Chains A and B, each alone.
Chain A
Amino acid sequence: MFLLYFVNFFTYSIKNIFYFSSAPLQKSLWSTANLLSSFSKPILEIYSLVQENNELKKENQKLLSQLAIFQSQERSTAAQKEISLFSQDKKFDFIMADTIGLEEDDILSINKGLADGVLENMPVVTKEHVLVGRIFKVYRNFSKIILVSNKNSVVNAKVIKEDNSFSNIKGVIKGKGYLEAYLDLIPIDSEIKIGDVLVTSAIERFIPKDLLIGKIINVQRDDQKPFQQAQISLFWDVKDLDNLFVITNYKR
C-alpha cells in the first residue's frame, strides 16, 4: 500500500514516459486498424455504398455547418455576424493533433500536450467543425479528451429544425458511454423531430457556439414528465478521428 502511494507521486511522469515512448507505435496501430476496418467494411456492406455514404456524410456536415452559419447570421445583427462560425474559423487558433488511443470510458488520447500549448478544458473539433469533446487531462507530451459520449459529459445545445425554420429550443446533450449520447431537458411543449440538427449553444463556458454535434434519430416523449428526451446520432465516428483540432484561444 505504501509503495502504491509512493508510486502515485510519479504517476504524471510515468504515464508521460509510457505515452511518449509508445505514441509512434500507437499512432501506426491506430492507422493500420483504421485501414483494416475500412477493408473489412465491404464484407458487411457494399464497398461503393460505404464510400458514397461517407462522402455524403461529409458533404452533409459541410452543408449543415453552412446552415448553422446562415441561421446564425439571419438572427443576428451586423455586429453579430462577425462572430458567426465562418469568422470563428479565422479567429481561432488551432493545434492539430493525432489520435493515439481510446479508453473504455470514452476518453481519447492525442499526441499533443502541455509542451505544445494544450491546456485543460480546451474544446476539440474535427475539420468539419464537429465538436468531439474537451481536454480534461494534460500531460507534457499528450492529452486526454473527454468525449461528448462520456457519461460525465454534459453540453448545452440548441436545435436547428430540419426545415431550416427558426427555433429557440435548447437542451443538453449527455453522454451515455459506449460512444453514444442523448438529448435531454427539452421542454415537453417544444416540438422536436427526427432529423433536427444539434449545435452547441452560446451559454457554454469553454465551447464556442454553433459547432455541430449530432442529429436527432428518435424522440422519447412522455406527457407525464416535464422534459422530453431524444436519441441522437453523433456526427463523428471514432474510426474517422485520425486528426483532431484543439481550439487554443477560445475564452468567454
Chain B
Amino acid sequence: MLKRNIVIIVSFYILAILQNSFFSHFTILGTAPNLIFSLFFCLVFFSLPTQVFANDKRINVYYQIIFYAIIAGLFSDIFFSTYLGPSIILFTAIGILIKKTQLLLRVGRDNYPFSHFIFLFLIYFILYQSLFMMYICFIDPLHIPVDFNFKIILSAFYSLFLSLLGFWSIKKYVKKI
C-alpha cells in the first residue's frame, strides 16, 4: 500500500512538471492539456468501491478519492495557484461526484465502459475548469476575469486524448486499482 501511494505521489509530481514545462511547447491555440486532472480522473474512474489490500485491510473508495484529491490538488496549487487548498477542495468534490455518477450509470458486467469514461471525463473536466476559473476570478489575488469560450472544450478534448492512454494502459495492464 505504501509503495503504491509513493508511486501515485511521484506520478502526480512528474505530471505537474511535465504540464508546466514540457507541454507548454505543445499547445493547441494556446491551450495545454491538464495532465493532473487526467491522472486523477483515471485513478478515480478505476477505483473499486472497496479497496482490499494484501493484509486484508479494506479502504472505502471515498477515502481513496480524498487521498488522490489531496495529492493532485497540492501539486496543482503549488504550480498553478496562489494559495494551497482550492484545488484540493475542488478535486475532492469532483472526485466524489465522478464516482457517484459512475456507480449510478453502471450496467452489465463491464464496470468501466469506454463511453462512460469519455462522457464523464468531458463533463467533469469542464466543470472542474469552470469552477477553478471562478475561484481565480473571485477569490485568488490574481482576479483573472472569467471567460467561457471554446478553448475550455478544446482543452478538455486535448486532455481526454492523453488520458485515453491511461485508460487503455489501466484496462490492459492494471485492470483494477
Q: Interface on A for B, CB 8 Å cutoff?
A: 4, 7-8, 11, 14-15, 18, 22, 25-27, 29-30, 32-34, 36-37, 100-105, 109, 137, 150-152, 177-180, 238-239
Contacts and interface: CB of A to CB of B under 8 A. Distances in A.
Contacts of A15: 78
B84 A36 contact: no
B142 A26 contact: no
Contact of B29 (A18, A103, A178, A239): A178
8 contacts: A14-B78, A14-B84, A30-B25, A100-B21, A104-B80, A152-B144, A178-B30, A239-B25
Interface in B8-51: 13, 17-18, 20-27, 29-32, 34
B166 interface: no
A32 B25 CA distance: 10
Interface of B: 13, 17-18, 20-27, 29-32, 34, 78-80, 82-85, 88-89, 136, 142-145, 147, 151
Contacts of B79: 18, 101, 103
Contact of A33 (B25, B136, B147): B25
Top 4 nearest A-B pairs (CB, nearest first) are: A178-B30, A101-B20, A102-B24, A33-B25
A100 B31 CA distance: 18
Contact of B22 (A7, A30, A137): A30
A151 B83 contact: no
A231 to B, nearest CB: 14
